[in-house]
Chains A and B, each alone.
Chain A
Amino acid sequence: MKINITINGALYEREAPENVTLLHFLRECVGLTGTKEGCGGGECGACTVLLDDRAVNACLVLAAEVDGKSVRTIEGEMRDGVPSALQAAFAKRHAVQCGFCTPGVVMSARALIERNPKPSVEEIKEGLEGNFCRCTGYVQIIEAVLEATGQPARVQELSHA
């Protein structure tokens, strides 16, 4: 079937099977591979994108359901080559290691701060609960979200004995 989806502000028209997920539509029909597949079962959050401003697991959404709607992915986070405040904070706070969960984490954080511009640590933990990260242990990610929202990151620096 023909599916029209606005992705990061641009309209994409693609012929795709009716059972293709939004995740595979993005990765395989459009070629935007920034959104990752970690489990394909809605459990790990690696494929998180914003669907009409709400964070969803793209592996659990059929592309056909999204026909005519608007989706934001990690590829839309940078504008005119300038990183967003969120991206800058993730870089500064070392909130990235292997990077495979990162696009999904950033999109969850994006959804969180758009509905809650000054989230507390507890609210950040809650907001990112659906995103597995096996590398970082989450702390530097939480600090990055605090930093991006202009809040003093409650950072416990590495101390020397």
Chain B
Amino acid sequence: MLETANSETLRQIGRSPVRHDVADKLTGAALYVSDMTLPGMLHAQVKQSPHARAKIRRIDVSRAERLPGVRAILTGHDLAYRLGLYVVDKDILAKDEVRHFGEAVAAVAADTRAIAHAAVELIEVEYEVLTPILNHMDALAPGAPLVHPDLASYDFVEAAFSPQPGTNIANLTKCRKGDVEEGFAEAEWIVEREYTNPSVQHVPMETHVAIAQWKSGDRVDIWTSAQSPFTVRDLFCHTFRLPLSNVRVVIPNVGGGFGGKAGIHLEPLVACLSRKAGGRPVKFQATREEEFSLLPCRSALTYRIKTGVLADGRIIAQKMEMFWDAGAYADYAVNVTRATGYSAGGPYEIPNAWVDAYTVYTNKPYGTAYRGFGHVEFFWGLERHMELVAQTIGMDPLEFRRKNLLKPGSLTLTGEMITEHNGDVRKCLDSVAQAIGYGALTPVEKAREARTGLKIGKGVATLHKAPAMPPFTATSVVVKMNSDGTVIANVGLTDIGQGSTTAFAQIAAERLKFPLSKVRVTIEKDTDRDPYDWQTVASKGLMLTGNALILACADLLDKAYETAAQALRADVCDLDHDGEKIFIVHRPERSVTFAQLSIGYTYPDGSAIGGPLIGVGRYTAQGLTNLDKGSGQGLPALDWTYGAHGIIVEVNPTTGAYHILKIASAYDVGKAINLESVRGQCIGGMMQGLGTALCEGYIYDQQGHLLNPSFTDNKIPTSKDLPDEIECIIVETAQLDGPYGARGVGEHPMISVGPALGNAILNATGAELTHMPIRGEDVWRAMNSKAPVETWITKTPVGSCRSLPVYR
């Protein structure tokens, strides 16, 4: 651990100071890109495809061009660039063929939004409609039409991914540990089942928005609502073959991201419109409908699990097959596949494991990162499956989980040895079990059942996740002292709401021994001004940037001490400091203030030494490796954050309607930096997880039209959907290389809410649910053993979307 976490001596860590960004956010002063207007700024609109799969026979923009106020029009063939995070498979605007409903085929920049909108309406596109591939399992069938016939010619990141040309498989990740067939041969029981969930939208309250200005000399300024300024810049420059120094990306406040703003999205298109419009700045903000169909979602998943168990209840072998629905483009879905491929077994010891994880192209809006990075989806299947296996072998599900949990000395699927410092998943599980009174119903609960006629059930589920990131992920921090002794820290990590700005200020104040009021961390990010950070993703920011920040503070203090030693004519080893000054330990009346040192120390005669105090810290993930592509063996995990949820549910045994009485959640956060921020992540993530568990999902008709791209038909939880009782528990097993022992917990609260609910409903009613979300009718069907109905690619094309393009 970079700094020891002795709770008695900590002054800033483990408290709940008010967030540093809150004053502006509570007064309307906080600036978001959607609030910005630049002089001469144009407004963009896109023409979206009304078809899921079609050849573009002709695009006629001549009528749009003649509309007064139109300054630039682009179609696919105007743009000789292809984009892709890992597999370079996406044109900025569709060329020749559209691959999903809502894909952009043309774009306009005009003086006003209204003119741009009118111009888009005047663009004529002639399509030859083709039969789309909608179900990702159908897309795997031999002879299925190919979403990307030219896959063999695409560039991709060879160290990590394996596209399969001639198929719809964008990536296949394999993980092999032991010998799974030998394991099955030893097993007393073998239990196999398949679990599914549909695509889901992130729903950041601020939709994607970008402003770009392509200036002379190919210098480009971009203001964007994005998570990762350096990724936007680096991928932008890679696409347009520009030096990184030519492009500046600025990110002010971000109105939510959840992974949906992790990569690069609208920025290249908006920049190209600006270039076409003679360098005027162009702004494009997605409508809420476009957020659902133009921008990416979370992938659907089909997860098959086959588990072999010994007579004593220990898992001996597990075969796991994941089929991820990438949609039309690979984007982050291939990396979700990779990351879940090595985590697929959960926090359990599996001596013989076999994972094949496929990313499958279909003709639907494409999948990207979403809080949990695949773990929300696969833990649905895994933790429902653990319940099924326990039932099958006649063991209590909690006991079955305990028996198989990872413990110090266990090997993960990739061969990493778990130690006592990785966190305590058992304590998380036991805490939530205790919090919900796991097991038989209490007399009070029984009396309630008798009174209401409703059935009460309790369920638990575990979770784990490591950051999905390259083994060489790096970050850096610059800490600058002002002439009054206050400090400003520049970090490249973006605060998209998670509270990192405040947590970092606490860490800096702790390390500097300064009052928190003297430390500020910048909110706006600027790639020209701020030091490099890889990305704001993966729940790795607290650990990596926190460590770099501690090193930057130490560097600043070293420089201050060096000047102070000269000013005080003392040795550095005899110096100490407080929030105001550096002093001689044995002569504390002899001191020099930080204000005096901050821009160089000046002697009474005017001569000076030192210089402005700036501390630099950099940190790279330590000891990680790429995974072997054949066996999946290697060290991918910066850290593992463990957790568990427990749920008490009350179900109507006639209708299947249910209500959550209590949810208890526990995570091993290593060390909580800001208690109320951690609590906010726990509750907020749990509630977002409940959205996935209760109701959310994309519904298509048989032609691949998205039927519910609105909040009317795609609901998210409101305050009325809160469980009656919520209990958040933290476990603090210090992460040895974490700042003050901390590890990330941004994504984890969203994971395994669904299976805890499914298990609770099972225990209340006997309903065997294999599909998430769990709507009342799904419970009814499961209780009555009716087969699930495919309602996500529905045969009844009825949607109430206001702006669904006319397509017949």
Q: Contact residues of A with B, CB < 8 Å?
A: 27, 32-41, 43-44, 46, 73-75, 77-78, 83, 87, 90-94, 96-103, 106, 124-126, 128-142, 156-161
**Contacting residues, chain B, for A141 (C-beta < 8 A):** 719
A-B contact pairs, 5 of them (CB 8 A): A33-B28, A91-B18, A102-B26, A134-B203, A136-B683
Q: How far is the CA of A92 from the CA of B17 in the complex (A)?
A: 8
Contact present for B730 and A34 (CB under 8 Å) = no
| Chain A residue nearest in CB terms to B18 | A91
Q: Does B522 contact A (CB under 8 A)?
A: no
B480-513 vs A: 1/0 string, CB under 8 Å?
A: 0000000000000000111100000000000000
**Contacting residues, chain B, for A99 (C-beta < 8 A):** 21-22, 24-26, 30, 253, 255, 497
**Contacting residues, chain A, for B21 (C-beta < 8 A):** 96, 99
Q: Which of B25, B254, B288 contacts A39 (CB 8 A)?
A: B288
**Contacting residues, chain A, for B253 (C-beta < 8 A):** 98-100
Contact present for B205 and A40 (CB under 8 Å) = no
Q: How far is the CA of A58 from the CA of B682 in the complex (A)?
A: 32
Contact present for A98 and B256 (CB under 8 Å) = yes
| Chain B residue nearest in CB terms to A98 | B497
- Which of B205, B684, B726, B732 has the most CB atoms of chain A within a 10 A radius of its CB? B205
**Contacting residues, chain B, for A87 (C-beta < 8 A):** 26-27
Contact present for A135 and B256 (CB under 8 Å) = yes
Number of A-B residue pairs having CB atoms within 8 Å of each other in the complex: 197
**Contacting residues, chain A, for B287 (C-beta < 8 A):** 40
Q: Does B802 contact A (CB under 8 A)?
A: yes
Interface of A, secondary structure class, is loop
Nearest chain A CB to B501's CB is how many angstroms away?
A: 11
Q: A33-B28, A75-B28 are in contact. Are A125 and B722 (CB under 8 A)?
A: yes
| Chain A residue nearest in CB terms to B667 | A161
Q: Contact residues of B with A, CB < 8 Å?
A: 16, 18-19, 21-32, 34-35, 202-207, 253-258, 287-288, 427-428, 431, 496-499, 666, 672, 675-680, 682-688, 710-712, 716, 718-720, 722, 725-732, 802
Q: How far is the CA of A96 from the CA of B255 in the complex (A)?
A: 11
Contact present for A91 and B19 (CB under 8 Å) = yes
Contact present for B255 and A100 (CB under 8 Å) = yes
**Contacting residues, chain A, for B497 (C-beta < 8 A):** 97-99, 135
| Chain A residue nearest in CB terms to B254 | A98
Contact present for B499 and A142 (CB under 8 Å) = no
Nearest chain A CB to B499's CB is how many angstroms away?
A: 7
Q: Known contacts A36-B206, A157-B675; can you find 13 more A-B pairs with CB under 8 A?
A: A34-B28, A38-B288, A41-B712, A43-B712, A87-B26, A99-B30, A129-B719, A135-B680, A136-B680, A136-B683, A137-B686, A158-B675, A158-B728
Contact present for B28 and A158 (CB under 8 Å) = no
Nearest chain A CB to B763's CB is how many angstroms away?
A: 23
Q: How far is the CA of A97 from the CA of B19 in the complex (A)?
A: 9
Contact present for B22 and A33 (CB under 8 Å) = no
**Contacting residues, chain B, for A134 (C-beta < 8 A):** 202-205, 256, 258, 684, 688, 716
Contact present for A77 and B205 (CB under 8 Å) = no
Contact present for A93 and B716 (CB under 8 Å) = no
Nearest chain A CB to B475's CB is how many angstroms away?
A: 22
Contact present for B205 and A94 (CB under 8 Å) = no
Q: How far is the CA of A128 from the CA of B499 in the complex (A)?
A: 23
Contact present for B204 and A98 (CB under 8 Å) = yes
Contact present for B22 and A159 (CB under 8 Å) = no
Q: How far is the CA of A90 from the CA of B22 in the complex (A)?
A: 9
Nearest chain B CB to A46's CB is how many angstroms away?
A: 6
- Which of A44, A87, A92, A99 has the most CB atoms of chain B within a 10 A radius of its CB? A99
Q: How far is the CA of A123 from the CA of B253 in the complex (A)?
A: 31
Q: How far is the CA of A156 from the CA of B729 in the complex (A)?
A: 10
Contact present for B27 and A139 (CB under 8 Å) = no
Contact present for B684 and A136 (CB under 8 Å) = yes
Q: Which of A34, A46, A83, A93 contacts B205 (CB 8 A)?
A: A46
| Chain B residue nearest in CB terms to A122 | B720
Contact present for B19 and A96 (CB under 8 Å) = yes
Contact present for A161 and B19 (CB under 8 Å) = no
Contact present for B718 and A129 (CB under 8 Å) = yes
Contact present for B727 and A125 (CB under 8 Å) = no
| Chain B residue nearest in CB terms to A100 | B255
**Contacting residues, chain A, for B687 (C-beta < 8 A):** 136-138
- Which of A90, A126, A139 has the most CB atoms of chain B within a 10 A radius of its CB? A139
Nearest chain A CB to B649's CB is how many angstroms away?
A: 18
| Chain A residue nearest in CB terms to B28 | A34
Contact present for B288 and A94 (CB under 8 Å) = no
Contact present for A161 and B427 (CB under 8 Å) = yes
Q: How far is the CA of A39 from the CA of B732 in the complex (A)?
A: 40
**Contacting residues, chain B, for A101 (C-beta < 8 A):** 205
Q: How far is the CA of A40 from the CA of B204 in the complex (A)?
A: 14
Contact present for A96 and B25 (CB under 8 Å) = yes
Q: Which of A32, A83, A106, A140 contacts B680 (CB 8 A)?
A: A140
| Chain B residue nearest in CB terms to A44 | B711
Contact present for A161 and B29 (CB under 8 Å) = no
Q: How far is the CA of A87 from the CA of B18 in the complex (A)?
A: 12
Q: Which of B428, B496, B679 contacts A94 (CB 8 A)?
A: B679
Contact present for A94 and B16 (CB under 8 Å) = yes
Q: How far is the CA of A15 from the CA of B676 in the complex (A)?
A: 46
Contact present for B730 and A158 (CB under 8 Å) = yes
Q: How far is the CA of A99 from the CA of B496 in the complex (A)?
A: 9
Q: Which of A43, A91, A159 contacts B710 (CB 8 A)?
A: A43
- Which of A37, A93, A131 has the most CB atoms of chain B within a 10 A radius of its CB? A37
Contact present for A138 and B728 (CB under 8 Å) = no
Q: A101-B205, A133-B205, A139-B722 are in contact. Are A77 and B27 (CB under 8 A)?
A: yes
Q: How far is the CA of A130 from the CA of B498 in the complex (A)?
A: 23
- Which of A96, A131, A160 has the most CB atoms of chain B within a 10 A radius of its CB? A96
Contact present for B728 and A125 (CB under 8 Å) = no
Q: A46-B205, A91-B23 are in contact. Are A39 and B711 (CB under 8 A)?
A: yes
Q: A96-B19, A98-B253, A156-B728 are in contact. Are A161 and B684 (CB under 8 A)?
A: no
Q: How far is the CA of A40 from the CA of B711 in the complex (A)?
A: 11
**Contacting residues, chain B, for A159 (C-beta < 8 A):** 727-730
Contact present for A100 and B684 (CB under 8 Å) = no
Q: How far is the CA of A24 from the CA of B762 in the complex (A)?
A: 49
Nearest chain A CB to B643's CB is how many angstroms away?
A: 11
Contact present for A132 and B27 (CB under 8 Å) = no
Contact present for A132 and B716 (CB under 8 Å) = yes
**Contacting residues, chain A, for B685 (C-beta < 8 A):** 137
**Contacting residues, chain A, for B499 (C-beta < 8 A):** 94, 97
**Contacting residues, chain A, for B719 (C-beta < 8 A):** 124-125, 128-129, 131, 138, 141-142
Contact present for A132 and B19 (CB under 8 Å) = no
